[in-house]
Structure 1
Amino acid sequence: MSRVLILTASMGEGHNTAARNIREAIIAETNGTAEVLVADPYTRTNPVINKLMQTGYATAINSYPRAWKVVFELLSKPGVVEGMGPMLNELTTAVKSLIEEFQPDVIASTYPIFSYLISKIRKKNPDLKTPLFTIITDSTMINSAWYRHPCEGSIVADEQTASVLQHDGVPSERIHVLGFPVSLAFESLAPCEPPENGHWKALFFPGGTSVHAISVLEALGELPNLDLTVITGRRQQVMRKLQAAGVPRRGKLIGWTDQMPHLMATHHVFIGKAGGATVQEAITAEIPFLVSHVVPGQEEGNISLIEQCGIGALAVGTPSRLRDVVSGMQANDGAVWKAWRCNLAKMKKPSASRSIAKFLLAHV
């Protein structure tokens, strides 16, 4: 029986999403015979500090994005993460314990710091030969913490990201362009049909403050032919404030959901922040992406991918700016939207999770 350990972290949902999807694919590829453990080593550390880190990250990206960019750039500099050694001892111990307890045949990581921690563990435990592969969840602008420390290989979503790693000295034979691990549900979903009678459906993930989200929804509500499905996720306070404000005017408001593949496949455009997993899911669903909130740092690379590949647009600034971008997308029988959809069809890899699963199993 093959044993696969997948390390993740709850610092943004994208890392966990990637880990779960890889697990799903490995189980499918082995007819359930493989034993797969998805683990967040942070949960084995001080719970108070772990919760503070998660809350701090969420607060920074939503309310203080410029401050987060400073942190992101700092962590990308060689020596910074490495200089945090004493602060990471508890996390290192957690990773080591997971490996010793589960005895995996192969390890996959969807979070950047674990390659560094495992390199530390290997120095003290040279008999640890279990191969480690890192699944990089962002595109084109990559924090070097993802690949500064040796592992058996880096799995990336696209050639643009592979080029970044090659430019920074990662050997090409250790870079594997396999796509982003999206849910297997995307394999059987057809993209949304073009709008009928000029009626459009948009999927909106509000980023930033609730005040800004309300202003955006009021502006989008001025478009007479647009229905909105608003997803607040686990941000319950934002949902309560949107409900109190009576937005959206047309459409529905949803909290957390596990139906993202279906929702993406039944809407014409996605509006939100450019998280790595979200952008890749949108590509797979062939739903054009409008970026309404920017998290500086890792998400700037995802925005670059959207613009370079012509699959959406950056629409930050005032709510009226976003409204006008949506209106322009709809104009001339959706000419811009159709061009974006055409480009998306060339990029999607709905079976990427299977490709990654097969790759990992081949190294057992």
Structure 2
Amino acid sequence: MSQRCIVFLIADTGGGHRSAALAISSAIQLLQERAAGNGDIKRGERGEAEVAAGAWPGPSNGAGAGPEMAEGEETATPLRLEIVEAFEECGAFPLRQFARLYGPASRYTPGLYGLIFHLSNHPGRINEVQQLLSPLMLKRLEQRLSELRPDVIVSAHPLLNYVTVAALRHLARPVPFLVVVTDLISAHHSWFTEGATAYVLPTEETRQLYLARGLEAGCVHLLGMPIHPRFTLPVASREELREQLGLEPERPVVLLVGGGEGSGGLRTAVEAISQARLPVQLLVVTGRNRRLYAQLQKEQGKWQVPARIMGFVTNMPELMHAADVIVTKAGPGTICEALACNLPIILSGYVPGQEEGNVTFVERNGVGVLARKPQQLVRALQELLEPGSTLLQERIENARRLSRPQAAFDIARLILSYLPPPGQPGPWEERQAVAQAAIAKMKGK
């Protein structure tokens, strides 16, 4: 059986695009291994899902079940999965520098970033931007795709969709092209372009945006936001997790997360909780921000609340299940991970433009609030964690209702459905197969 290839196109402007691609690719690997009879997960050194012999574990703590066999999954097709950072691998100057500027721009000049987002969120302006950007990437993207010869292409970034459609048109290859939208409500117009085979959308709000832009309704699949398959694995009880983490069993736990780069006002939030002497204990995740980690470690002795400080972690499901509430910036991935763990959310901030809709999503669905100022954060925690609070239970139930922990598996199945049937030529082999058939037909006459 010939090997098939699935290519994921991303750009590291924020961690959410790579995280979505990793979540889906891990789900594909697990579905394939399950079809081959090896469905268990073990954790690798970097925390990514790895496959080992055994059976996929069942549901636990409401986090969802593992992948079930679906029609057409009886046998596993040999697969090669490639994640391409398109700006770095295919972009000419200054595209390669664009991804590196996202973090500083969104952190230090958020107002300007938001203004650019809104001014560019229009079909005419998007066309102008694409006419400017596409020549800086098109030829190298064509070359990279010709090297990889994908049977399916999946984009997880809005600025890569127009140029990918153009590249496939120039290459004259009928490769199915799927777009996975990772914004919960305020999806930028650049996500949507004619020529994509299918769109995977996370919410009904994004589906309505898609339809309002006049694109084909039959191409839409409302499957949710992909999060890593480890969020469907069973975990220990809250009591056991707190014991493992060295936490007090009864004192409420507040999990503070700043994203992969450790941004999001973590230090200000910790200081506000400490100064208010709230009866809580803290789990603080600084991500890859080593400077912030060292700073908080140095200041920890002055705090009025017990706390554990961690850097980049690979056990986020366990941390979320041990907590009573999460304080985080409005990244869509972290929001949906928290929902999968039935965890109420307090948003400490957002990137103007692209993350504004995520705040709306959290508040409209009754799973959390925005608290950008220290006093707002303290008040939100007091209301949520006071003894006998009905608000806490309401938000837990709303999170349970809203969560879609299986989204990565549903998206993986959709992608696999676009692979050529076993024994049939792929999109890069079709010309050769047609030519060979014509030659054989001529010889038979």
Q: Fold match, TM over 0.5?
A: yes
Q: Which residue of 2 aligns with 1:234?
A: 288
Distance 2:250 2:388 in 1: 8
Query: Which has the higher Rg, Structure 1 or Structure 2?
Result: 2
Contact kept in structure 2, 1:18 and 1:181, CA below 8 Å: yes
Contact map agreement 1:191 1:266 (CA 8 A) in 2: no
Say how many residue pairs are matched: 362
1:225 and 2:270 matched: no
C-alpha deviations, 1:34-90, integer Å up to 9, x for none?
211111112225698566433421112222211110121133222334324344433
Give the letter aligned to residue 140 of structure 1: I
Instruction: Check the 8 A contact 1:203/1:229 in 2, yes or no.
Output: yes
* Amino acid in the other structure paired with 2:8: I
Aligned residues of 1:189 and 1:265 also touching (Cα < 8 A): no
Rounded Cα–Cα distance in structure 2 between residues aligned with 1:129 and 1:210: 42
Q: Distance in 1 between matches of 2:264 and 2:196?
A: 44
Determine which of 256, 275, 279 is the counterpart of 1:204: 256
For the residue of structure 2 that corresponds to 1:280, the secondary structure is helix
Q: Deviations over 1:96-119 (max 9, x none)?
A: 222111111111111012210012
Residues of 2 paired with 1:100 and 1:301: CA distance?
A: 37
| Separation (CA, whole Å) in 2 of partners of 1:154 and 1:231 | 33
For residue 72 of structure 1, give the secondary structure of its aligned residue in structure 2: helix
CA distance in 2, matches of 1:190, 1:132: 36
Change (3 A) 1:241 1:197: closer
Percent identity over the alignment? 23
Aligned counterparts of 2:262 and 2:24: Cα–Cα separation in 1: 32
Aligned partner of 2:21 in structure 1 is: 19
What letter corresponds to residue 87 of structure 2 in structure 1? Y
Work out the CA distance in 2 between the residues paired with 1:59 and 1:346. 36
Does residue 245 (structure 1) correspond to residue 299 (structure 2)? The answer is yes
The whole-number CA distance in structure 2 between the counterparts of 1:217 and 1:270 is 13
Q: Could you tell me whether the CA contact under 8 Å between 2:87 and 2:96 is conserved in 1?
A: no
Q: Distance in 1 between matches of 2:136 and 2:93?
A: 13
TM-superposed deviation, 1:185: 1.1
Q: Distance in 2 between matches of 1:109 and 1:74?
A: 23
Separation of aligned partners in 1, 2:125 and 2:237: 45
Aligned to 1:98: 144
Partner of 2:212: 167
Task: Work out whether 1:118 is the aligned partner of 2:164.
Answer: yes
CA separation in 1, counterparts of 2:314 and 2:140?
29
Match of 1:214? 267
Deviation at 1:214, TM superposition (A): 2.7
Residue deviations 1:2-52 (CA, integer Å, cap 9, x gap): 321111111100100000011111111112732111111122256985664
Q: Quick one: distance in 2 between partners of 1:74 and 1:95?
A: 27
2:196 is aligned with 1:142: no
Matched residue SS, 1:97: helix
Higher helix share: 1
Query: In the TM superposition, what is the alpha-carbon distance from 1:311 to its structure 2 partner?
Result: 0.6
CA contact (8 A) 1:2 1:361 kept: no
Aligned AA (2:140): A
Distance in 1 (alpha carbons) for counterparts of 2:266 and 2:92:
31
In structure 2, the gaps of 5 or more residues are: 34-75, 243-247, 420-445
The answer for the alignment partner of 1:345 in structure 2 is: 400
**Contact 2:257–2:285 (CA under 8 A) maintained in structure 1:** yes
Equivalent residue for 1:181, pick from 202, 206, 226: 226
Contact 1:216 / 1:320 at 8 angstroms: preserved in 2?
Answer: no
User: For the residues of structure 1 that align with 2:103 and 2:237, how far apart are their CA atoms?
Assistant: 31
SS at match of 2:124: coil
Q: C-alpha deviations, 1:251-286, integer Å up to 9, x for none?
A: 111121222222222211111111111111111111
Counterparts of 1:186 and 1:320, CA distance in 2:
32
The 5 A counterparts of 1:250-261 are 250-261=306-317
The equivalent residue for 2:80 is 35
Gaps of at least 5 residues in structure 1 are none
Scaled by the length of structure 2, the TM-score of the pair is 0.75
CA contact (8 A) 1:210 1:238 kept: no
What is the alpha-carbon distance in structure 2 between the residues aligned to residue 142 and residue 250 of structure 1? 39
* Contact 1:26–1:34, Cα closer than 8 Å, also in 2: no
Measured in 2, the distance between the counterparts of 1:349 and 1:212 equals: 28
More displaced 10-residue stretch of structure 1: 227-236 or 192-201: 192-201
Q: 1:129 deviation in Å?
A: 1.0
Encode CA deviations 1:217-266: one digit per residue, 9 max, x unaligned.
11112344211111121223332333343376421111212222222222
Contact 1:203 1:264 in 2 (8 A): yes
Structure 1 partner of 2:435? none
TM-score under structure 1 normalisation? 0.91
Q: Counterpart of 1:92 in structure 2: which amino acid?
A: L
Q: Deviations over 1:145-204 (max 9, x none)?
A: 001343111101122321222223232211101111111111123597599986211111
Q: CA RMSD in A?
A: 2.6
User: Residue 351 of structure 1: CA displacement?
Assistant: 1.5
Q: SS of 1:286's equivalent?
A: coil
Q: 1:97 and 1:210 mapped to 2: Cα distance?
A: 36
Deviations 1:287-340, CA, capped at 9 Å, x for gaps: 1111111211111111111111111111112x1211111111112423211100
